[in-house]
Structure 1
Amino acid sequence: MKNTRPFYLSSILALALASCGGTQKMVTVDATKIDQMPLKTTKLTDKQLQRWSHLDLVKDTVPGMSVDMAYAELLKGKKANKIIVAVVDSGIDIEHEDLKANIWTNPKEIAGNKKDDDNNGYVDDLHGWNFLGDSDNEQLELTRIVKKGNDGSVQYENALAELTKKKTELEPQKQQLDMILAAEAAVAKQLGKSDYTLAEVKAIKATDQGMMQSQAIISQVLAQFPDKKAFDAEMKEYKDYVYDQLNYNLNVEFDGRKPVGDNPYDINDKKYGNANVIGPKKESGKHGTHVAGIIAQVRGNNKGGDGVASDVVKIMACRAVPNGDEYDKDIALAIRYAVDNGAKVINGSFGKSFSPNKQWVYDAIKYAESKDVLFVHAAGNDAEDIDVANNFPNDAEPKGAEFADNVLTIGALNYEYGSGLMANFSNYGKENVDIFAPGVKIYATTPNNTYEYLQGTSMASPNVAGVAALIRAYYPSLTASQVKHIIMDSGTPLNNTITLAGETGGQTTLGAISKTGKIVNAYNALILAEKTVKK
């Protein structure tokens, strides 16, 4: 998983709810009038925000995927097959109260007998497989390339340049972080407590220069947060990001693979990992647990959010994404494991800029295609044009020529309708991003029976994987390729001007930055699926 700086979202205006009748026709929007639709002057309520990705653009004036409308008008009383969705990620808290009912169990495996009962090469793989064993933190791929030494290749030169750039950019961030943390500690010592208010900070009667400076720093920073608790949470996230980068991701001396015991550069060395799909600690599976929840957290139980396809899915856990960049070998074998053990949809919320053994992953994707398995992949969070910038894995090598027709690459939407529709971190690409889906402020499961808002194309991808699972559950005769194109063809096309992701911004349209120029619409997709089957 490419380690990008956490996204800090300020308060933004949300959208009013409006009533609109619905029939079983494809939902359309007059794209020329999109900016004239009613915009709210107040925030979405917590309840609305927690499930905004399920709302409808026309009915609710929120750019969600029309999931609620699909359940209410198309799926009620309809029979469906159970679909296995593999989540290739950081690990999943399969004991979570809102997920455990929808976790896949290998019917051919006897729990805990230390035998490979189904002869699939994995001992006691009751709920999936952990390809990382007891490892957790990892280097970025570019760091691993530099660590190997100068082989005279362009890849080494590019990796070294990128590593140097990242370290240079990180240094002032570390200095700023350390300054704030030192000031926070000084203020806490002065007040005799760590939980204090802005008013209490301002009331300090500082007598020395150091305390005056600490007081000024914390007053300025704390004013940006509703309370000290919110400040602490965000500082912890930022501290983890900075020091994980320095200690693990960009540290050429670090060896995160040692606990695994395999050779990560030998695709035939397959006897590694274990059956603990949660990972060595639940907290490390936050990303994967959240991704799984978007797809499968139980609908309508008043806990957390609602899963897009919770009524029809079983989640297969494939732990292969560390705190750093994933190894090509792990991803390739995880995809093959998912395919061989019955998954019909695979979600891949990971990605990186260097991929020395990318062909292993490409071959696995083509293997999935041969077995009729759909692979849904996050476009990435660097606000880059991935028609130009490297982003692995992909389905076009060389770029522009797709080698498989079972891959969907997903960009991220914001819930702010109008010019702010595109998530300000999302990658894009006219050729390499297929379609956009909700990816900002997505509420879902996190370890130890908790729930959080997270954001990224990592959240947009499972939203679409959930829609794909619905289609495959209710229309099992459709192929992976057909499901891919149904999702693309049935999306809502938008032609309005939006702000391009990235620091420089600029104006663009979805049509200029994605293959379809559309946002995913579950309601439309299910209607088109039925029409396709009837044909």
Structure 2
Amino acid sequence: MRNLKPIYLSTALALVLASCGGAKQIISTPVENIDTLPLKVTPLAENDLKRWSHLDLVRDTVPGMSVDKAYSELLKNKKGSTVIVGIVDSGVDIRHEDLQGVIWVNPKEIAGNGIDDDKNGYIDDINGWNFLGDSNNEQLEMTRIVKKGPGTPEYDKAKAQLEEELAGIMQTKQQIDMIVAADKAIKEHLKKDNFNLDDVKAIETSDEKLSQYKAIFTQILSGTSKEDFDKRIKAGVDFVYGQLNYNLNVDFDGRSIVGDNPEDIKDTKYGNNNVIGPDPEDAKHGTHVSGIVAQVRNNNKGGDGVANNVKIMAVRAVPNGDEYDKDIALGIRYAVDNGAKVINGSFGKYYSPNKEWVQDALKYAAKKDVLVIFAAGNDSKDLDVENKYPSDSYDGSPEISNNVLIIGALAPSYGINEVAGFSNYGTKNVDIFAPGVQIYATTPNQTYEYLQGTSMASPNVAGVAALIRSYYPKLSASQVKQIIMESGTPLKNEVKVGEDQHKANFSTISKTGKIVNAYNALLMAEQMSK
């Protein structure tokens, strides 16, 4: 899963080291006026920041999805039907106060009797299925390719990339280790853990090393609190050592505990019904994604979910490392077969030895009228140049089905910086953009956090898709895809994208050149359903 972890790291180090009518006919403000809106120069208030993705570009001048406007003007006194949303991810803390009432319960299964009551191949799958069993840490796909040895497809490319990434992570490890050592030394000198900038400035020492550590923390604490630093450095440490011990380690074997053959798509009798996973904290990613879609609206807890008539089906298939194609293919099929009408996949990788298994699953979802939404990825790459898996099109080929959306990430700042610096993009291979920076949602053990990534943009769109499918259930998955793309707000302003942060016109960095707009989408759904 190459989603949040690299973003955690970069944030930590930055702080510590310094056509159906078309959108034009239904948009709430004439398109030509949008690109001349005054820029919002004051920061968002905390209450607005927690739900900025629900705000309106025209009214609030932040590139939100107009969700609040949709509820207040279009959905008042309307009743929708329940939509099951499959969350294929790292696990979901189904005990969370803001999620437990919206978790899917398998109506055909009797809990705890050890029998496959509904005969779907999964025993006691009450809330979904865990295809990872008790495993969590995994290698990256390129590491698995190198482990298999010469002669394996893409071996030379994977080996060169692995060596490059190992060299880079060792440099990062040196920096992280130095900061951790500085933290420890200052704690010992001051005889307290929670020191502040004044404490550090007051240190008097002739010790050259301690003087160096003092300088480091004078810089760090000038820009952030010690509490915030502690969280970020922990994330940095976890990332670096996770890469070295698991993700980039050719000798690591994380799969043996599962007990299946990951190279055999017909070997399906594996995993368990614990959709949280062995450690709730490792389900942070999936819990956050679920909250973006479905955390309860207007209950004065945490943030607000996009959709109000949903049940979350948890499918645990994404480890700390790269997901296996087999787990993703079977996870998609599981969600489809058990009634999901929208599936969110906030994961991805750049090698996929068995991509045909996943593509077959996407075609199967299309046949069963299920919309699948994927995050575009967080590596600032042009996906027209480099393939990211899974997708519905590779190397310029036609789309394999009409039920897949690929989502890029927006930041809460209309103008030159509105595209998240980490977001992948592509005129052909990213469909549309949605909010993905500073998104506030549920995290394990009754907590809430701001997280960022295209991982957060994708479930924002899954929530809009669920709204459409709830209030206009006769519309097909392909029609919902069409609505989301055509009803988006088109922008033509200059933005920064890519690793070099070069300037590009927003209209050129995705297939639509638009940002998702729930209000417009529901208007178009109303028109199309007639």
TM-score where L is the length of structure 1: 0.94
* 1:270 aligns with one of 268, 279, 288: 268
In the alignment, the residues of structure 1 paired with residue 407 and residue 118 of structure 2 have an alpha-carbon distance, to the nearest angstrom, of 35
In the alignment, the residues of structure 2 paired with residue 122 and residue 68 of structure 1 have an alpha-carbon distance, to the nearest angstrom, of 39
Partner secondary structure for residue 84 of structure 1: strand
In the alignment, the residues of structure 1 paired with residue 82 and residue 35 of structure 2 have an alpha-carbon distance, to the nearest angstrom, of 40
Matches within 5 A, 1:180-329: 180-225=179-224, 227-309=225-307, 311-329=308-326
1:21 alignment counterpart: none
In the alignment, the residues of structure 2 paired with residue 147 and residue 234 of structure 1 have an alpha-carbon distance, to the nearest angstrom, of 32
- The answer as to whether partners of 1:467 and 1:522 remain within 8 angstroms in 2 is yes
How far the C-alpha of 1:33 sits from its partner, in A, is 4.7
In the superposition, relative to structure 1, how do residues 9 and 249 fare at CA in structure 2: closer, same or farther (>3 Å)? closer
How far the C-alpha of 1:40 sits from its partner, in A, is 3.2
In the alignment, the residues of structure 2 paired with residue 374 and residue 235 of structure 1 have an alpha-carbon distance, to the nearest angstrom, of 38
2:513 alignment counterpart: 517
In the alignment, the residues of structure 2 paired with residue 362 and residue 408 of structure 1 have an alpha-carbon distance, to the nearest angstrom, of 14
Amino acid at match of 1:466: G
In the alignment, the residues of structure 1 paired with residue 239 and residue 200 of structure 2 have an alpha-carbon distance, to the nearest angstrom, of 27
In the alignment, the residues of structure 2 paired with residue 47 and residue 214 of structure 1 have an alpha-carbon distance, to the nearest angstrom, of 37
Partner secondary structure for residue 5 of structure 1: helix
Deviations 1:437-459 (A, max 9, x none): 00010000000110000000000
Q: Which moved more, 1:380-389 or 1:492-501?
A: 492-501
Matches within 5 A, 1:266-415: 266-309=264-307, 311-415=308-412
- 2:413 maps to 1:419: no
How far the C-alpha of 1:9 sits from its partner, in A, is 6.0
- The answer as to whether partners of 1:381 and 1:427 remain within 8 angstroms in 2 is yes
Structure 2 alignment gaps of length 5 or more: 13-24
In the alignment, the residues of structure 2 paired with residue 150 and residue 122 of structure 1 have an alpha-carbon distance, to the nearest angstrom, of 37
Amino acid at match of 1:480: A
How far the C-alpha of 1:152 sits from its partner, in A, is 5.8
In the alignment, the residues of structure 2 paired with residue 91 and residue 294 of structure 1 have an alpha-carbon distance, to the nearest angstrom, of 15
Partner secondary structure for residue 7 of structure 2: coil
How far the C-alpha of 1:32 sits from its partner, in A, is 5.0
- The answer as to whether partners of 1:87 and 1:292 remain within 8 angstroms in 2 is yes
- The answer as to whether partners of 1:351 and 1:378 remain within 8 angstroms in 2 is yes
- The answer as to whether partners of 2:128 and 2:313 remain within 8 angstroms in 1 is yes
- The answer as to whether partners of 1:84 and 1:345 remain within 8 angstroms in 2 is yes
- The answer as to whether partners of 1:6 and 1:241 remain within 8 angstroms in 2 is no
Amino acid at match of 1:445: T
- 2:136 maps to 1:136: yes
- The answer as to whether partners of 2:387 and 2:395 remain within 8 angstroms in 1 is no
Deviations 1:14-34 (A, max 9, x none): xxxxxxxxxxx8224455554
Matches within 5 A, 1:165-184: 165-184=164-183
- Identity over the aligned pairs, expressed in percent? 63
1:429 alignment counterpart: 426
- The answer as to whether partners of 1:437 and 1:464 remain within 8 angstroms in 2 is yes
In the alignment, the residues of structure 2 paired with residue 366 and residue 36 of structure 1 have an alpha-carbon distance, to the nearest angstrom, of 42
2:107 alignment counterpart: 107
Deviations 1:183-212 (A, max 9, x none): 111111000011101111111111221211
How far the C-alpha of 1:135 sits from its partner, in A, is 0.2
- The answer as to whether partners of 1:245 and 1:251 remain within 8 angstroms in 2 is yes
In the alignment, the residues of structure 2 paired with residue 212 and residue 9 of structure 1 have an alpha-carbon distance, to the nearest angstrom, of 25
Aligned residues: 516
In the alignment, the residues of structure 1 paired with residue 32 and residue 195 of structure 2 have an alpha-carbon distance, to the nearest angstrom, of 50
In the alignment, the residues of structure 2 paired with residue 32 and residue 498 of structure 1 have an alpha-carbon distance, to the nearest angstrom, of 17
In the alignment, the residues of structure 1 paired with residue 41 and residue 384 of structure 2 have an alpha-carbon distance, to the nearest angstrom, of 37
1:499 alignment counterpart: 496
2:157 alignment counterpart: 158
2:59 alignment counterpart: 59
- The answer as to whether partners of 1:32 and 1:495 remain within 8 angstroms in 2 is no
- The answer as to whether partners of 2:310 and 2:466 remain within 8 angstroms in 1 is yes
Partner secondary structure for residue 313 of structure 2: strand
Q: Which moved more, 1:160-169 or 1:273-282?
A: 160-169
How far the C-alpha of 1:77 sits from its partner, in A, is 1.1
Quote the RMSD (CA, aligned, Å). 1.3
- 2:483 maps to 1:482: no
Partner secondary structure for residue 280 of structure 1: coil
Matches within 5 A, 1:432-447: 432-447=429-444
Amino acid at match of 2:435: P
1:5 alignment counterpart: 6
How far the C-alpha of 1:213 sits from its partner, in A, is 1.6
How far the C-alpha of 1:108 sits from its partner, in A, is 0.3
- The answer as to whether partners of 1:422 and 1:501 remain within 8 angstroms in 2 is no
In the alignment, the residues of structure 1 paired with residue 215 and residue 393 of structure 2 have an alpha-carbon distance, to the nearest angstrom, of 52
Structure 1 alignment gaps of length 5 or more: 11-24
Partner secondary structure for residue 6 of structure 1: helix
Amino acid at match of 1:343: A
Partner secondary structure for residue 443 of structure 1: strand
- 2:464 maps to 1:470: no
How far the C-alpha of 1:221 sits from its partner, in A, is 2.0
